[in-house]
Structure formats: C-alpha cells, structure tokens
Chain A
C-alpha cells in the first residue's frame, strides 16, 4: 500500500467549541505564566490546564487534521521534525509539537497554538498513544521502535507492545509506517497491515522472546522468526549506506544529522512523507536541510573556542548508537547522567550500555558529569575508561581534551543544558 495519496483536506475542519477555545486560551495563559516565571518551557503546563478544562479537547482540536502521529521509544522527535519539514517543503501549512512535548497535554498545546487549518504532524509518547489514538484519529501512524526505557515508569516493553497491538486491532483501517527490524513493532503493527521499513537498526537486547508466543526468537543477520510462525515481514523500503529504496524508486540521503540512528529516522520520515503524498526527491531535499532537532546536535563554541555539540541518549538502545558513532571520532566526550523522573529513577541500565567503547580514547578526553556522576564514575571505572569528574557538564566540557567536544546527556541533563545555553545566548 505504498504511495497512496493522502486524504488531505478531505474532511471539513470543524471550528472548536467555545469550551475548547476557552480551554486553549486558559492553557496558553498558564503556559505564558510558566515561561515568564522561568519554571518550564510552558508547553506541558499549558496543555494540562487546557485538558482539565475540556476533556474532549484533543478530539475536537484534532478532528480531521492529524496527518501523522509518530511514536516509539527512540527517534520520535527527530522523525516528527523530518516529516514536518518534508510536508512543509511541499507547500502545506504544518503544525507540530516541535519541542517534544508529547503527552496528551503537549498535544493539546500544539493543536491549540497553530493555524487551525494546518495539518498536524505530532510526536506522541509511546505510552500515551493507545489512549489518544481514537481521539487523534491520525491519517498515518509512524512506529519507530520499542525498547527498554524508564522501566520504573513505563513498565516492561512487552506490555507496552501489547497495548499498541490492541490499539491497532481496534483500528484495522489505520495506515501505518513501521520499523521492520523491531519484533515488538512488527507484532504490534501487523493487525493494521503496515508499510515496512528496513531501517538497518540492530538493537535486539530487549527482544529475545517472541511477542506472539513467548518462545525464544530466532535471530539471523537481522532476520527474526519464531516457532509459532511469527516472523519479520518482507521490507517495502530499505535504507543502506546513504540511500533509500522504496519500491522501485531510490533516493540518495545526504543528511545534516549524524549517526546511523538518524539515517533510520530519515528513512522512516521519507517513507511517511511519501505516504502523505510528498514526492521522494522533494522530501529528501527537505530532510537533508535539517541539522538540529530540538537541541539534538545543537552546536556552539566553548569559552576556549573549541566547537561543542549536544547529543541526547535516553536508554541502552540510544546510548549504544551514540557511543558506536563517537567511537569512530576523535572528539572529547562528556557523559552526563541525571536520574530524575523523566530520565528514569533507576540507573541500572548503565550496566547494559557499552561504555567500553570509550576505553580506547586518549587520556584526558573523557569526563563524567551530571547529578548522578558517581554512579556513572563507577560504571566507567568498570569499563576501563580514564575519565575526569565534574558535576557540571559545561565545566566538564571545558576540561575534556580533544579538538572538539561532544556532550552526551540523559533527558533532563540535556534539557537543563539546552536551557542554560539559550539563557547564556550561546544557542538561539
């Protein structure tokens, strides 16, 4: 079902009810207060106020205008941004929750803020998606991957995949673009009949048993299958070495974003854009122009003039990708660990991250930082990494050697740094 034109503007856009409009205005006020008081970016609090005032706000604001909902453990924000860029390049007005506010409250904010006639590309939290799917009724769902993340908050991956599957069993007509390399995503998306994208990703630590029958999954060179007959479906699209093949079409990917994980994000985005009716070449050009997404890969200069860059890694799958990428560079590396609610309180996942990949770096080029720097220090010591200690990631960056410095941070450490750098005027 590749290449179906999107039903753009097929449904009339109803005006929001007075109650919803009021709710959005009240939410906007709360958001302004939040920003003005310096508590937060204002997006989530605004949405919460709006939701409290109008429970049906999502359904009303969303009616008929959700082009696409993007969800999964990793890559949501970037994939959303890339799809929005591709749609915008085709000349359509687009609204999006570009800052990554992806809970129900963030969705209300995004939909309430922008042009009410514009189509929306929304990033949706993976645990929230099944609860809001009916209200959003998105034209397309893009399902990136499911891996262990915030176990203390989200529960175990298999349970989350089960809720996704139940959602799609209830929505058999839902159009889906899904990652063909992820057994949980495949199992969840099968009821809908998806466009399968071979993203080339290989994280399999969280998928060792068959989601359908519970027996051991058989893995061979990226292929998986199980005794019950559940297996990886044939790919409709494949990305490899800077090129995406979709059916009989092929397009070169020259990305402004680093790493294999961003190639996977771009592949998902291009297939989604194609499903939404954007030409592949147009979409690829738009995607190539994106160099930073909501602070990910944000670049600035340290006081001593060396270039620095901010990378986000939230869970073992994400950290593995970022560390594998950094292993091939010569930059100084700052690793910053927080364990707040949004990071996951339990840092036991540190022991599943291959920090050993940093062990061969020259002395003095790695620094540990963040609120849980001691836990990180212990892990790095066991990984044989020579490191400096600093609580403050920016001080750590100045101390780390290397001609350039990459700071890899967990979510709240990342957001905190972004905020500081913006306040100091080093980032826009």
Chain B
C-alpha cells in the first residue's frame, strides 16, 4: 500500500503478459481515476523484476505459452508480497493467461504442467480447439453491468467446489467447463455474500452509508492526512481474491474496452480507497454507491461538488470518461450521417455479422 494517496495501478510483466492489448486495462483505470480527480499512476513491473506489495490494483494480462511459463515463475517468486497486498485489500484484475495462472496449475498444449499461484481453487487444461470470439457475461449481481469483451484462449478452466464464477456467459465460451449448464466466465465478486468463496477485491469495506457525511476524495490528498488506515486483522478474514477474465475491446461497435470490467474494477478500487480513508470515529468516505454507474457518478458530482472545481458538466468541462451519456452522444452524432447503424443488442449484432461472413470471406480473405 502506497504511503500517499496516489492509487498505484501495477501493470505486471507487460512484455510477457501483454498479448491482447492488456496494457489498455491499466491505461483505462488510471485515466478514469484521474478524470475523477483521484490521483493514480501506472507502475510498470518489468519482466524479471520482483513484484512489489505496494500496488493497489494488480493488472495481469494475456500471454503466449512460453512467456506464460516465465511469468508464472516470477509471480510465484513474488507471491508472498502479492498475498499480503491482497489481504490488505488490494484489487487484482487478471485476464486470459493471467487468470489461468491464479489457479493451482495450467497444463500447456505440449502436456507440460505449469504450477500456478494457487490463489483460487481452479485448474486449467489446454483444450483441443481455441475459443475465439466475442463474449458477453451477465454477472447477475445488482448494480454490476453486463460485461463484454473478446476471448481468444485454448485453456479450459475448471473451478473448484465453492468457487463462484464471475457470471454466466450469454455469448461465447468463457471457462468452458460446462459442468452445470451455462458456461462460466472467471471467478468474481459476490458483493452481498458474507463470506464469499472468491472475491475480486480482497476485503470488502463496510457498506456505504447513504446518509453519512461525505468527504471529498481529495480532502486529504495530496499531502493531506488520509486518516487511519485499516490494518491487517482489523476486519473479517480476508477472502481469496478472484479475477475477472475478459480481454479485448467490446464487440460490434458498442464503444467500450471491456467497459463493464473497468466499471467493476473501479468500484473495488474505490472501495479500497474508501477503506484507506476510514477513520475510526470520523466521517467515512463512501464512494461505492457513486461509483456504481458513471451516470450516477455524474449526478453525484453535480450534487455534492466534491471540492475539486472542474471536471463535471456543471463546471462546463467535459467529464473525461466515456460515460453512457457520452456514448449516446457519439452514436447520435454518427446516426445523423445516416451511414451508421450499429443495431440493437450484442447478440443481434453478432448474428447479423456472422450472416455476412461467407460473402465477406469470399470478398477479402486476402
């Protein structure tokens, strides 16, 4: 945990685990926090270097087979630091190979078994065919958006008993375990559960207090007094972290890079930050509700004027984030031209596109 209030986004081994534009996840998180006037920085941990325990949000990406083995070695060597950080409430976002490495083992296509971090009860075995295409996931959790992305993996991941999936796959393959009906994508948070078997964000901070007084997020920062931080042992037993496993930009022109995933991770980062600011008896900073949806965050900003001048619509400056509102505006602008018709739901878009596949393949497969 960093001593100052700057949120450290750790981009872990980007040279090894960056096959699918994974650095974008760190960029997105850092920018969105900055646009919310929450100072954040991307800490790049190069391959071969020890992974520090001072990271607030670890970002692990996709890798090819050989680099995945190298990444596993480095991660295992740094496991004690990572575990301590997660126990202290750090967030971990793992995609693709990064996700596979969190389990107990990964069996490569050549049959070699690579030991994993054992942070979640799961095993991955390379399947016979690669799962390639758009993915959409319903988390089924109140306040969590539909997650969308692009999958490209051979690994079939089986979750141990009691490990909760991140959600239910509505488009695509996901984990491919097929054990109880719908395929599952990753393992993730269960915000309402008392003792979740798997958890995206480590320790959950106490519930938001809607009626409580709010303190500006920058009230103690930078250089201000952040208040007492929660220490190890001060809360309930830390649940194991759980990754989200989605990579790639959102399909079919709905304009997001796994936008739901970013929203979800931001909520956990916010909760972590809130927990850092929580003083024993003082007013609590509770941003969880405000972060649930960006539109509501906009409203929140307007209402409470978090003390930062600028950045919100009522200050006449654009909110930097690609909020649903902004996306609607973008779409409206495009539709005026009469040449843009992205259609309705993700499923419809994919069906329509796949229908054109034959003609398209014949047309320009070179």
Contacts and interface: CB of A to CB of B under 8 A. Distances in A.
Interface of A: 39-40, 43-45, 100-103, 106, 125, 148, 151-152, 155-159, 205, 208-209, 214-216, 340-342, 345-352, 371-375, 377-379, 381-382, 389-392, 395, 411-412, 415
B179 interface: no
Contacts of A378: 249, 255-257, 322
Interface residues of B, number: 56
A392 B247 CA distance: 28
A341 B150 contact: no
A392 B335 CA distance: 11
Given A381-B322, A382-B27, A214 B66 contact: yes
B352 to A, nearest CB: 12
Contact of B20 (A101, A125, A348, A391): A348
Given A40-B362, A45-B362, A382-B27, 16 more contacts: A40-B364, A101-B366, A151-B152, A156-B65, A214-B66, A216-B70, A341-B365, A346-B20, A374-B254, A374-B255, A378-B249, A381-B320, A390-B337, A391-B339, A391-B340, A412-B364
Residue of A155, A351, A352 with highest tally of chain B CB at under 10 A: A351
A384 to B, nearest CB: 9
A208 B70 CA distance: 11
Contacts of B210: none
Interface stretch (B11-19, B117-125, B287-295): B11-19
Contact of A157 (B64, B334, B339, B357): B64
Given A157-B64, A350-B21, A389-B333, A372 B248 contact: no
A42 to B, nearest CB: 11
B283 interface: no
B308 to A, nearest CB: 19
B255 A375 contact: yes
A391 B27 contact: no
B206 interface: no
Contact of A347 (B22, B152, B249, B361): B249
Given A208-B47, A346-B249, A377-B255, A102 B18 contact: no
B302 interface: no
A412 B67 CA distance: 31
Nearest to A151: B152
15 contacts: A102-B366, A209-B66, A209-B67, A216-B15, A342-B360, A342-B366, A345-B134, A347-B249, A348-B21, A348-B150, A379-B249, A381-B322, A382-B24, A389-B334, A411-B364
B337 A391 contact: yes
Interface string B107-131: 0000000000000000000000010
B48 to A, nearest CB: 6
A427 to B, nearest CB: 18
A379 B25 CA distance: 11
Contacts of A158: 64-66
B68 to A, nearest CB: 10
A44 B27 contact: no
A296 B249 CA distance: 27
A156 B366 contact: no
B28 to A, nearest CB: 6
B178 interface: no
Contact of A351 (B24, B66, B340, B365): B24
